[in-house]
Amino acid sequence: MKKTWWKEAVIYQIYPRSFMDSNGDGIGDLKGVTSRLDYLKYLGIDVIWLSPIYKSPNDDNGYDISDYRDIMDEFGTMEDFDEMLAEAHKRGIRIVMDLVVNHTSDEHKWFMESRSSKDNEYRDYYIWREGKNKDASTPPNNWGSCFSGSAWQYDEQTEMFYLHLFSKKQPDLNWDNEKVRNAVFDMMTWWCDKGIDGFRMDVINMISKTKELPDGEIKDLYGDYGPYAVNGPNIHKYLQEMNQKVLSKYDIMTVGETPSVTTELAKQYAGEDTHELNMVFQFEHVDMGIGEKYGKWNDNKPSLVELKKIMSRWQTDLYGVAWNSLFWDNHDQPRAVSRFGDDRPQYREASAKMLATCLHMMQGSPYVYQGEELGMTNYPFQSPKDFRDIESINAYEEWCAQGRVSHEDFWPCIIARSRDNARTPVQWDDTENAGFTTGTPWIAVNPNYKEINAKAETADENSVFHYYKKLIALRKTHPVMVYGKYELLLADSEELYAYTRTMEEDGAESNEKLLVVCNFVDHEVSFTIPDEFVGASCLISNMENDYSRNEVTVKPYEAFVLVK
């Protein structure tokens, strides 16, 4: 297995709108990021993945881009970006940009030209079709958008429909047009020449669609576009072209967001020698429970047996041939400790540390989402008026306002899964608005900021923050955490997640072996330490216990790692 800097890195995701506001307008910005780089350096992370900061009308919080070579006014200027990049590099921190090229904003100059007439030179930059049977009231097919409603929008100017798999203000680009691909590659090269260190690629496996665009199988109200627009016919060809023309020319990190990906597909996308991407995000573990109630909206506690099955398959199938991305949460997911752990006050810290142990000891590059290192929790939403996220607002309208399900039944499900849980401001201290802004924040601050904040946790050696700091530091000195082989123990336990990591290299710097044990429940569980680990030293644990004997009573949400 090739050793590279990005395999050994820990990546920290910043959602700029909610990270730190420098000018009191209630919205996080680039100067705010720069002002907190010393905090991130102290935490020990290697890379920042920056969610979109480009010019955007903000229909989908920056994932609708109107100019790829300019900065959103609310976030600052290109000079602010250049300063942030330089200051990050001074501290040995790399910057990875979010690349959103499945779609643009409908306010991008390409789309404004495209919709102006059927013979415009940009017309074929997007996917236009006549209505079914040339009927202006019937979309070309039955596909539904990810954000509710049809995936087609009728445009009166040229009396045709355009495809938008997300918001109607996010028209999909036509990647079958070579001019589109070259324009994207030129833009990527421009950013690489600026000195950025890589790209996280938004829904990158959706850029290739089948030409026929047939109706999909009806799921809920609309047809499923998945078989025709996800992992499409030319996806590998286009990514290999991207690699050849841009990515291979720079020492950068690339990670693709790839919904509905399998381990077999991941080996192609992120294989050691397939010349596409370095790694991909899979979503099987965060998609658990989809369809059990109202589509993605459910408040079920994930099954640990099922979680282990998914995580272990990715660990074993990709070993030696491709690379994993490791994450519990991000800007599109609820808070990790509220979903996979236990955010009740008596268990929050322990379960946050336990989840960190479980993830960071696996093979792959770990991602820390802003505030995760503090054990930040889901927000206690009281009303649909609290939402800012287009997906949550549309879902409530589609399910409740239209009378398909009662508010009482749907509310626990939407607040458990809303993307806004991850988007409340980072809690820096216990002053007003958690030190995020001197103005009125664009989205409410979680009221628990007086108890959970960075100032208190950096001062407390036993905090969640310092536990993350220790885990990240261990990764630098124990190659087995990065490159060791994974083996699951106790596959059928709904209480304990236990596994080993073993270095298999001949002449490796360290032939260490790790035993990782994590208790996912709020009661004690007995565990028999395998004979080979009896007497092994404890590398890290989130509470005091005696690991020298065969039998250990593992406390609620306890995690420990033994090394031999």
Integer Cα distance of 402 and 231 in angstroms? 33
**3-state SS assignment for residue 322:** strand
List the structure tokens of 313. 């398959």
Integer Cα distance of 115 and 486 in angstroms? 52
Separation of CA 244 from chain center = 26
Neighbours of 258 (CB within 10 A): 26
CA-based nearest residue to 5, from 504, 326, 482 = 482
Contact 345, 357 (CB under 8 A): no
Separation of CA 377 from chain center = 16
Contact 446, 453 (CB under 8 A): no
Strand 47-50 to 67-71 pairing? unpaired
**3-state SS assignment for residue 458:** helix
Question: What contacts 304, CB < 8 A, 6 or more positions away?
Answer: 493, 494, 495, 497, 520
Question: What contacts 42, CB < 8 A, 6 or more positions away?
Answer: 458, 469
Alpha carbon of 176 to those of 143, 209, 226, 277, 385: distances in Å? Answer: 20, 8, 18, 20, 41
Residue spans of beta strands (DSSP E) within 400-470: none
Residue-level length of the chain = 564
Integer Cα distance of 26 and 20 in angstroms? 9
Question: Which one-letter amino acid corresponds to residue 131?
Answer: G
Question: Which one-letter amino acid corresponds to residue 394?
Answer: N
Integer Cα distance of 423 and 378 in angstroms? 10
Integer Cα distance of 467 and 470 in angstroms? 5
What amino acid positions are annotated as catalytic residues? 202, 257
Contact 118, 161 (CB under 8 A): no
Neighbours of 372 (CB within 10 A): 25
**3-state SS assignment for residue 92:** coil
Q: Is 432 exposed, middle or buried (0-12, 13-18, 19+ CB in 10 A)?
A: exposed
Strand partners, 326: 366
Any idea what the Cα angle at residue 295 is, between residues 370 and 341, rounded to 5°?
40
